[in-house]
Chain A
Amino acid sequence: MADVVATAEIPEIVPTRLLNDQQRVALLRWMLHARIFDEVTIRLYRQGKMFGSVFAQIGHEAISVGSAAVLQPEDAIFPMHRDLGAHFVRGVPLRTIALNHLARQGSMMRGTDGTGHYADPQRKLYGNISHLGAMIPVAVGYALAAQLKGEPIVVLNYIGEGGAQTGEFHEGLNFAAVRKAPFVLIIENNQYAYSTPTTEEYACKKLSDRAIGYGIPGETIDGTDVERVYEATFYAVERARNGEGPSLIEAICMRMRGHAEHDNASYVPRELLEYWKKRDPLLRYQRFLIDNGILSEAEIQQMRREIEAETVRVLDEVLQLPFPPAEEAFKNVFL
């Protein structure tokens, strides 16, 4: 992405005809939820009050929110660890998310695992495991089952450009292509796999070029423009729903924090972060909404204050809860 920095243009938001203003406000709200959850948990982490890791998605919000917003409730979604926005889009309550992140009593995972690794089958949301890439074949299998049952659903799955270098990426996407599975895979290219830059991850120009090799459509888009993400996902989902098979979307963004909060990301050139800070998906969208008279600055600030107050309150409450009792460790190894 050095060439992008050289030109240093901040692209305009490209509005899509597919969204009305009410939907646009909803997109902003979900992006704010994701951003503020990060801000609050980073603060707690620094205060030594957080439990587990904080894998911030700052810089990714437009991707998970803009794409998940396309889906119908019966569609399934397999997010990865920087897709908290998608959890909010699917309507998972903040308290549920917090319980799972903090592995507290009452969490859906009973304290067996944390972060966004949980599944909420009612909302057709299935979290990732730490082995990124592993859920690609699983999501494809979910889509194949829908195909077998004659259910017109679509499965949306996410991976980083790091996880896109696994064997399971290839096996899963190829199998989906061969079976014309109703499957959409979004690569969130945030330019670093932990400390490894893209130049040491792959040699092709664009990861969407791989789509040709699978015989499916692929495109690379601005992952910091929520409207662009919505539009690209919309057509990929439509294609999948029509039985025309999977699509690959590469959404370019920047991981604005370390791999997790223990990591200060000193290996990322500061000028790169400076450039991408100007492309902040949330701030750019706020500016777009203000410039187009959809929301006022004051309304956005009010929304922000409400979400922040709610996030702080819920996380504080959940942090007061006990961990699940030890006997949970012995349950559900088998059903």
Chain B
Amino acid sequence: MPTMTLLQAISDALRYEMRRDERVFLLGEDIAEFGGAFKVTKGFVEEFGKQRVINTPISEAAIIGGAIGAALNGLIPVAEMQFMDFITNGFNQLVNVAATTAYRWGLPVPIVVRGPVGGGMSAGPFHSRSAEAWFAHTPGLKVVFPAFPADAKGLLIAAIRDPNPVLFFEHKGLYRKIREDVPEGEHVVPLGTARIVRPGADLSIIAYGRMVHTALEVAARLESEGASVEVVDIRTLVPLDEATVIDSVKRTNRVVITHEATLTAGFGAEIAARIADKAFEYLDAPIRRVAAFDAPVPMAPPLEQAMLPSAEKLLDTCRQVLEY
């Protein structure tokens, strides 16, 4: 099994699906000869040609709207946002056209809109945002946020084969940082399946994206303090594998939810509400959330580090919940 970075696993999934199904094509800014801002599609134009790897103008509404139209005409487009921050320019296409088409017309819109998100690189307010909650709040859109290379490949293949519009978030801080064995060829991770990445008995940390790795770091440190911490990677926000989350909390009786996105009305609030609804009697401590401070993502390193959720903050909150 080859070892891949998250970025290589995403490229591998795209290449695999494009070889398997000629209806799959890519569109986005600078993705052809240049290979994309992060080089996810490096070498693609040589293999698949410019008809299937389409460079676009800086026009996110045309990229996403164009993908929707191509899907209505029988193709399977994967659109790249150079940075997921720019998805705001195509917001109307996603929430009003893509998200309502199945409901109103009964027609599939098998598009994937993927791209890099997240902070930690001093990239400032317009290249660092975690935008997933906007879309999780829009019925009709699926929302995927992998933390590991093998999951990224399997989830992206599942997203491409899904008849619904799927938003696929890739934390750019993980692109080249995380490396693991990734199955060659066919590898599908069904959307809506969470994964217990570390089993434990005393506390559940529910996380996704970059915070899964922070949670694993915190779990290792707490183990040295004598606490057994379970880490659940939900992998997809919509659909949410509620059963795995609830089951974990019922076993550990304590839960901390964490995401890099800002706190208020973040997806952690939804998870917390569902736990309160379905596992209230199992809880031995209040449900706590660790998320970013409610502000735009600032640029200077001290500010950004203060604003984003850190391992220290998560560790501190976990200790409080364990001691409650």
Contacts and interface: CB of A to CB of B under 8 A. Distances in A.
Interface of A: 76, 108-110, 112-113, 117-119, 121, 126, 129, 131, 134-146, 148-149, 167-168, 171-172, 174-175, 178-179, 332-335
Contacts of B66: 137-138, 140-141, 144, 172, 175
Contacts, number: 131
A334 B142 contact: yes
Interface centre among A110, A137, A142, A172 (most CB of B within 10 A): A137
Contact of A136 (B65, B77, B108): B65
Contact of B96 (A108, A109, A134, A143): A134
A135 B92 CA distance: 10
Given A118-B105, A175-B57, A332-B102, A145 B74 contact: yes
A208 B66 CA distance: 23
A172 B65 contact: yes
A275 B67 CA distance: 44
B45 interface: no
Q: Chain A: interface secondary structure?
A: helix
Interface residues of B, number: 41
26 contacts: A110-B106, A113-B104, A118-B104, A121-B72, A129-B96, A131-B96, A134-B65, A135-B65, A137-B61, A137-B66, A137-B69, A138-B66, A140-B65, A144-B66, A144-B70, A145-B72, A167-B61, A168-B62, A171-B57, A171-B61, A171-B65, A174-B59, A175-B57, A179-B54, A335-B102, A335-B106
Given A171-B57, A333-B139, 13 more contacts: A112-B104, A113-B100, A117-B104, A134-B96, A141-B66, A142-B72, A145-B72, A145-B74, A145-B75, A146-B73, A149-B73, A149-B75, A174-B59
A142 B163 CA distance: 17
A119 B107 contact: yes
A333 B65 contact: no
B104 to A, nearest CB: 5
B25 interface: yes
A141 B68 contact: yes
B167 to A, nearest CB: 13
For B51, B60, B68, B69, the residue with the greatest tally of chain A CB atoms inside 10 Å of its CB is: B69
B187 interface: no
B249 to A, nearest CB: 26
B140 A138 contact: no
A139 B70 CA distance: 8
Contacts of A135: 65, 97
Contacts of A148: 25, 51-52, 70, 75
Given A129-B97, A142-B73, A174-B59, A119 B65 contact: no
B68 A332 contact: no
Nearest to B99: A333
Interface in B224-246: 239
Contact of B140 (A131, A174, A175, A333): A333
A101 B106 CA distance: 17
B128 interface: no
Contacts of A146: 73
A109 B104 CA distance: 5
Interface string B103-139: 1111110000000000000000000000000000001
A146 B72 CA distance: 11
Contacts of B97: 129, 134-135, 138
A146 B71 CA distance: 11
Contact of A172 (B61, B77, B142): B61
A244 B108 CA distance: 30
B65 A137 contact: yes
Q: Closest 8 A-B residue pairs measured CB to CB?
A: A141-B69, A137-B65, A141-B66, A145-B73, A142-B69, A171-B59, A145-B70, A171-B62
B69 A134 contact: no
Contacts of B107: 119, 121
B56 interface: yes
Contacts of B75: 145, 148-149
Contacts of A108: 105-106
Nearest to A124: B73
A168 B69 contact: no
A246 B64 CA distance: 20
Given A119-B107, A145-B74, A175 B51 contact: no
B139 A141 contact: no
Interface in B78-107: 92-93, 96-97, 100, 102-107
B214 interface: no
B164 interface: yes
